[in-house]
Every structure is written in C-alpha cells, then in structure tokens.
Amino acid sequence: MLNDLKRRLEQAFAEAESRQDGDNAQYIPALAEVDPNLFCACICTTDGTMITVGEDEPFTLQSMSKPFLYAEALACFGIEKVHQIVAVEPTGKPFDALIDVESGSKRPHNPMINAGAIAVAALFAEGSEREQVRRLDHLFSRYMGRKPITFDTRVYLNERDTAFGNRALAHLLNHFGMLRGGVEAALDFYFKACSLQLQCRDLAVMAGTLANGGRNPITGQKVLRGRYLRDTLTVTGTCGLYDYSGRFWFDVGVPAKSGVSGGIFAVVPGRMGIAVYSPRLDSNGNSVRGLSLLKSLSQSCRFHMFDLAPKYAAKPSTVTVKRPPRAASQVHEWALQRAFDIALCNRAGANSSFTPDLQHIASDSLAVSLCTVDGEEAHRGLSDQGFSLQAAATPLTYLMALERFGIDAVHRKIGVEPSGNPFHTVQLDPKTNQPHNPLNNAGAMTVADMLSSQDSAQRLHLLQDGLKRLCGRGLCDIDLPALAAERTAGDRNRAIACLLKKFGLIDHLEAALEFYFLQNSVRTNTATLARMAATLAAGGRNPFTQTQVVQAQHVAPVLTVMSTCGMHDGSGQFAYDVGLPAKSAVSGAIIAVAPGRMGLAVYAPPIDPYGTSERGKTLLATLARDLGLRIFTSPIQEPDDPEPRPWL
C-alpha cells in the first residue's frame, strides 16, 4: 500500500514537473529571486509515515499560516469572540481585496483572506516583540513537531517595508473596530507568521496533524480539539484558495491552503496530509505545479470528499427490484423528532416576496423527511404537503445536464466558484463573462437552455422523467398557479437571460426561460425530495428501484457545488453551521445530502435574507450534530463549545 502511494505521488510529480508556466511572486523581492524550478512534494500519513519526492528546500509559510492562526484563535479565545471580528463566507474575490468586509457587520468575510488573517493575528499581538516570537514558536512548533521554529528575516523585512495594501487593510479594520491591540502590533505578528521558514516535510506534518483528528502523527501530541478542527477544515475547504476555492474543491475535493511562496498543503481527513512546494504561481497566486500535482493525486487516489463511486457505484442494473420503504431506526426517529421540536421554536424569517404565490402560504408549516441509502424512511410534520421546488431543482437539473452532455461540455459555459452575491444578481463572472456556478439563477438558466427543446411537451417530459428516475416514486407535478406567478414576476430573470444571450451562453431565450420557470414550478413534497437526495447520497443508485439511475462520476460535481454555492451568499455560514451539501429555495424548501448515509428534505416557508428557510437551517444543524452527519466530524466526540485553553 505504501509503495503504491509512493508510485502515485511520483507519477503526479512527473506530470506536474513538465509545467513551465507561471511566475514567482514579484511584489516581495526575496520571493521574486527564488529559483522558479524548485519542486518538492511530501506526504505524511496519519500513522506518521513520510514520503518525499524532489529536493526539499526551505521556503516561507506565507498565507498557509492562516488556518493555524484561526484554529489557535478558536482554541484560545473561544468561537464567539473570534467570530465577532471575522466571518466565514467565501468572497469570490482575490485574497488581498481592499474593501473585503461585510456591509452590515464590517467584519472581514473569512479568516483565509488577508483582512481576516490580520484581524485574527491582532488577537495574539499583545505584549513585547519577544513575547510574540515565543507565542509563534509555541503555536507552530506543536503542529510541525519540532523546535525551534525559524524565520526568513529578509522576507519579513520585505513584507514589513512593502506591504502597503495590508497596511491599508489594517487601518480599515481599525476604523471599523475589528482590530484588537493596534495596527502595528497586528501587522508585525502577521508578517512574522508569514515569514516563518519551513520545508515540505514540516508542512506535510502540519497537514497530517489536521488529517489525524488534531493529533500530531510524529510526536503523538494532541494539538487541536475536535470542534476547532472541524471548523478550521470547513473554512479552509470553502475559502482556502480565495477566488479559486470553488474550482479546487470541484477538482480535488479536500481542504487546502496556498501561499505566494509557492507552497500548498492539503488535508485528506483520516488518511494523510500533503505538502507541495513550487514557486511558479498562476494569476490567482497559487502554485501551478502544486495544483497540477494535487489534482492528479486526487484522481488517482480518489480522495475527493464526494467521490462515492468506490462504495456505492455499481454497474447499471438490468433488473429493476422494487421494494417498499422501510421504517427508520429508533436513533433516526429520535433525532428527527428532537430536531423537529427545536426547529418549531424558531420564529425568525418571513415568507418569500419574490413571487406573489409564495407570500400567502401558511408560515407555520414545517415538514421534514429522511431517507437512507438503504431505503429507510422517517417523516415529521405534513410530509405529503405539496410545495413548489423553486431553486431546489437546480442541482437536479444540473445533474441531468451532466448526464446528457458531460462535465466538460457543461462547464465550458458555467464556472464552479461561489460569487459572494445574492442568487438573483444580474451579473456574470467578470473574468469569464460566464455564470459563476450552476446553482445561481444565471447558471440555472444556462443549464435550462442546454436541456430545453423547442417543443414544450418535450421540455415537460424531460424534466418530469429525470426527477421521477431520481425519486423512484412520489409527487412531481407542475403547479400551474406557481408557473403563472413565475412568468408574471420574471422580469429580473428575463434580464439575466438577456445578459446570457448577449454573451452567447444560451441559444433559445424563450425556451430556456420556459424550462427554468417549469423546474421552479414543480410541485413536490418532503418525502419525494428526500428520496431524490438519498439517490445522490448513494452515488446515483436509487434506494427503492436498486438501479444506478445516474453515473456516480456525475454525482460528485453536484455535491461539490451544493456544498460551496447551494446557499449563495449564505453558503459559507451554512457549511460552518450544518456541514452538508444542500440547496435552498425561496418556497422554504431545502434538499440536503449526507454522502453515503441519507438524503434529507425540509419545508418551512419563513426564509432569511439569503432566501433560505430559517427553521430548515435550525432543523438540519440539529440533525447533523446529533447523527454525526457533517462532512468534517471529529472522530472523538467533544463538547460543542469547549472552554478556551490558556495561551502564552
């Protein structure tokens, strides 16, 4: 097994080494002068085995320090205090964006961008410079498993003398009251953390510590508790590569963090930490060879978080075996009832005002359904109550497009990045003039155009047939009043469609709009929607017909974009609170997937400003916690809010 892993690493290394594109970071003189051909990769497995390929030269940590600063801040100061000064949302913008603070709270969007990292660094920046160095040594040496840590003095001085953008960010944060301890102290601590010197081996051990449940695989020391590890991996997964985070999550599928020195570390939970160093950077500030190696290694080792094929993807069955639903286990029944009761107490939110027919629905409605990959079902509330699918249809039609045209064809027209914008924003990605992702309105309409035909009856048949294959049985009719309301209140969507037509992304404007309005108007219920989610959870195999209704290789992309883009400008917070791939709808519906385990569906009309059911979020967060469904869950159960530990 070890020899096989080494062989795969060497193959990925050889492929990546042929890449000659990219340039060293130019704005830090010491980095600009580094030999651009340096290249090293290292793996540290959770049992402490080390595999290294290439020449292991020292480099500086740079932005790869950010996840560890954030993790230690959570552990030392507590979750509430840290999140008073930094949020957890992807931005869709470069790492050094000057005005990257939330419009309401004025917090930096997340701790992986420069603004957020400076705010976090300020928490540690009290005391003398000597005390700061001791603090950094204590913090990072435990993750690296060696003492003492060292700094590249020239890089530190370069950063201190040339980083006027970071100074601007620090003063802006100070203006908004987000900086504790003063501008200069915060910046100095941040610059020192970025100029920490290490080798690929050290970085692999640090990543291996995160992969090993917070325990250093070399020293055996418990460095980070489960809750803080979970939160760190979540934010690193959604925000670690800045405006390339969605693409990396889509292609590689594990939490990772890059630095402008040319380093990248990746965490494969429960298996290994991976470190790569090569100074040639792309336009996003990520190592060209590092990205290439990690993508190749993910494909050959199949460590993408949503690659369900090894366990669940069977060859398409020629025989349909129909079986009735089975009663859920007592644990599932208990957890569902508890989550239902807690969600009933949430009175926040209001009915959607986006379409007239949604404003008059009874706001006290609440229904939830659970369907496991083995066909067990449980329900609470009016699980047979009908509602319009709205945007909860978008991952399902995206899957239909992947099945019909393939991943490459679909993503020639659509990206995979979170945009940081509301779902109905009349805007495309300024870099590509394409929709940011397939789950916002622009992306969904582009998919609708690919699936639509000139014949309205064929459009309806294609949509209903695709949904019925996913659910196996249940309600998938068209709600004609909802369809009429979509057409009547569709001016914003027509504006988006016209923009797509301008850039040649859709061919048939009216047909695309009609298909999009049809999918939004599908009438279903939570029982049916949970069955569709269970098919996704089982890698495309329907729990009731026992047939492979869609290819497993197409399920992983759907779950990936659901996890990063499913709640639009609230996706990061949902990933942090709930930790499941999910998609919300302004009708109050949410479809959620616990990969390999179950599908979930909630219907509760009062929604938040992002268009997501308030009760639905509460219910899913409770279920995910009680049943251990989160994609990043500590192997050791620990209190949700452990006491902060002392710090130096």
The catalytic residues are: 63, 66, 190, 242, 260
Q: Which two tokens stand for residue 436?
A: 């940011």
Q: Which residue is it, tokens 């700094």? A: 151
The total of other beta-carbon atoms located within 10 Å of residue 407's CB is 14
Q: What CA–CA distance (Å, rounded) separates 372 from 542?
A: 10
Closest CA to 260 of 236, 238, 242, 233: 242
The strand order across the sheet containing 582-584 reads 326-327, 376-381, 367-372, 598-603, 589-594, 582-584
Whether the CB-CB separation of 377 and 371 falls below 8 Å is answered with yes
DSSP state of 127: S
Residue 36 to residue 262: CA distance in whole angstroms: 9
Q: What are phi and psi of 163, to 5 degrees?
A: -85, 65
CA-wise closest residue to 641 among 68, 102, 46, 81: 81
Single-letter amino acid, residue 63: S
Query: Could you give the count of Cα atoms lying within 13 Å of 27 in the half-sphere of its Cβ?
Result: 12
- Residue 183's contacts (CB-CB under 8 Å, 6 or more residues apart) are 167, 170, 171, 174
Residue 52 and residue 40 in contact, taking contact as beta carbons nearer than 8 Å: yes
552 close to 496: Cβ distance less than 8 angstroms: no
Helices within 145-275 (DSSP H only): 153-162, 164-175, 183-194, 200-211, 226-239, 245-251
**H-only helix segments in 78-113:** 79-82
Q: Residue 368: name the closest of 393, 342, 348 by CA.
A: 342
Burial class (CB within 10 angstroms; exposed 0-12, middle 13-18, buried 19+) of 181: middle
Check the CA dihedral 292-298-301-302 and report its sign: negative
Mark out the alpha helices in 452-594 (DSSP H runs): 456-471, 480-488, 491-502, 509-520, 526-537, 552-565, 571-577
CB 246 within 8 A of CB 565: yes
Of the CA atoms within 13 Å of residue 422, those in its CB half-sphere come to 11
CA angle 439, 430, 251 (to 5 degrees): 50
Residue 188, number of CB atoms within 10 A of its CB: 18
How far apart, in whole angstroms, are the C-alpha atoms of residue 41 and residue 269?
18
579: alpha, beta or left? (left if phi > 0; alpha if psi -120 to 50)? left
Residues 194, 27: contact at Cβ < 8 Å? no
Which residues are CB-neighbours of 3 under 8 A, at least 6 positions away? Answer: none
> Beta strand pairing status for 326-327 and 376-381?
parallel
